[in-house]
Structure 1
Amino acid sequence: MAMPLLDAIYKTAHEHSGGVEALAARMGVNAQVLRNKVNPNAASHHLTAREADLMMALTGDFGVLHALAANHGFVCVKAPDDVSAGDLAVLDIITLIWARTGDVGRAVYETLADGRVEKHELSNVRQLAYTLQQGLIEMLGRLESMAD
């Protein structure tokens, strides 16, 4: 679910349970300083890589990681702790891929329906294609775990 990096940083901090104040306390930083660091319009304060890593670890929100990957043409897929290997596990992910493929197809159809491609429509197609790619990579991981 890739969004612009600065938006992902802002969302991660502000949607944390208890908001920026609670997250800042858990990170051991001043709430106003963190608020400034996650503000996409602030030019004077910047989040460090260590702080972004800690923020993701504490919130469980990995939108920042997905945004960084998408900005550079990569797709992030969480490596499962316990990969379910077997025909049913692969079938499960394949049905998810089919559903996501349909979502991409529907979004492309709706984007082209009026003869124009608008930026917000392209953003939606990109997001859906990204989640489709994640499913395909997960499927490969499950198949690889079954290989002799």
Structure 2
Amino acid sequence: MNVTDAAYDTVHQHAGGSEALAPRMGMSAAVLRGKVNPHNDRNLLSLQEADALMGKTGDFRILHALCAEHGFIAQRTEAPASGNLIGALLAAAAAKGDLAELIAEAMADGRISPNESDAIARACALVMAALVQVSQHAEAAAERGGV
């Protein structure tokens, strides 16, 4: 997933969408939608606004997209606030299964369309994030001296 798509998805998949998020960002919903519109080449989301957007939504796909575009993976350094290792492992397995299903469906006609490629990239990002959660839960369990 590229950064532009990540910003668009962050806004449009947030509960209440741009209408709920824009006032918290100090702008109108129309301006926010314009800033994350992939077909707009003016009045783009600034770095400070992207940072604020991630902070207000708790959705870090913009950060992950930036990292992926430059060959990196971002990993949170603090232990997860809730959940456990087995739950995280099951969530990662489910995300991996969703990715496999998506790839199988995309390949059914013998070609991968740009939309299918974007969907696969998004699903890969979800798998990576889920696997990072497994690692974080393992590290937290080790620090606690148990599971």
SS in 1 for 2:112: coil
Match for residue 55 of structure 2? 57
SS in 2 for 1:127: helix
Q: CA deviation at 1:42?
A: 4.2
Match for residue 115 of structure 1? 110
Q: CA deviation at 1:135?
A: 1.6
Which of 46, 60, 67 matches 2:44? 46
Given the superposition, is the C-alpha separation of residues 62 and 142 from structure 1 closer, same or farther in structure 2, using an over 3 Å criterion? closer
* Uncovered stretches (5+) of structure 2, i.e. residues with no partner: none
Q: How far apart, CA to CA, are the structure 2 residues paired with 1:29 and 1:141? A: 35
Q: CA deviation at 1:26?
A: 4.0
- Higher CA-based Rg: 1
Aligned-residue identity in percent: 34
Match for residue 82 of structure 1? 81
Q: CA deviation at 1:18?
A: 7.8
- Once the two structures are superposed, what CA deviation does each residue of 1:24-56 show, in whole Å capped at 9, x if it has no partner? x54445777656544444444333211221233
Matched-pair contact (CA < 8 Å) for 2:80–2:137: no
SS in 1 for 2:81: coil
Q: CA deviation at 1:138?
A: 1.0
Letter in 1 for 2:54: M
Which of 81, 96, 100 matches 1:101? 96
Given the superposition, is the C-alpha separation of residues 116 and 51 from structure 1 closer, same or farther in structure 2, using an over 3 Å criterion? closer
Match for residue 67 of structure 2? 69
Structure 1: which 4+ aligned runs deviate by more than 3 Å?
7-22, 25-44, 58-63, 73-81
- Please, what TM-score do these two structures have when normalized by structure 1? 0.66
* Uncovered stretches (5+) of structure 1, i.e. residues with no partner: none
